[in-house]
Structure 1
């Protein structure tokens, strides 16, 4: 049974080889996908929202830090400010990495 299978494969390989040589695909030109302008606009809005929320968080944390220092309470605001800075660094590097990957 295996000899019949090997013979069939041996006889069929030149046909497959000829088919793959002649079945070539042309070089397609790049084209923007549908609604890509809307996706770009949404990404711009999200970028501005991330920047605005980061700046707001740092300003709020600074005010909270001053209030805690003035009242002599426990200092929890430095953690909030550090978290906002780390979040901003992650958000900024994510955009840079995506631009590098997407070739923009």
Structure 2
């Protein structure tokens, strides 16, 4: 009973803080947006390269290694674009 009252009293004093960006964080957020753009661009380039390689491998009749590249590029893109959502689910 006493522990419950102390717990409620402490929660009433602490409240629920809202997150806010630190001062001068505009440049850091801009860098994160640039890096996100570069990751997405590299994923598109990788999938395009793997598609061309897939066509070459089919035309040559050799073993197919490019479907793994395409699947890896697509999985990497999904993880890269949902990184913020994943972190919010883990932290929040």
* TM-score higher than 0.5: yes
Tell me whether 1:63 sits opposite 2:52 in the alignment. Answer: yes
CA–CA distance in 2 between the matches of 1:70 and 1:29? 58
- Structure with bigger gyration radius: 1
Which structure 2 segments of 5+ residues have no match?
1-12
CA–CA distance in 2 between the matches of 1:40 and 1:102? 19
Instruction: Determine helix, strand or coil for the equivalent of 2:82.
Output: helix
Which structure 1 segments of 5+ residues have no match?
1-23
Match 1:95 to one of 45, 66, 84: 84
Tell me whether 1:41 sits opposite 2:4 in the alignment. Answer: no
CA–CA distance in 1 between the matches of 2:77 and 2:85? 12
Aligned residue pair count: 79
Instruction: Determine helix, strand or coil for the equivalent of 2:52.
Output: helix
Root-mean-square deviation (Å): 2.7
Corresponding residue of 2:63 = 74
Shift of residue 101, structure 1, vs aligned partner: 7.5
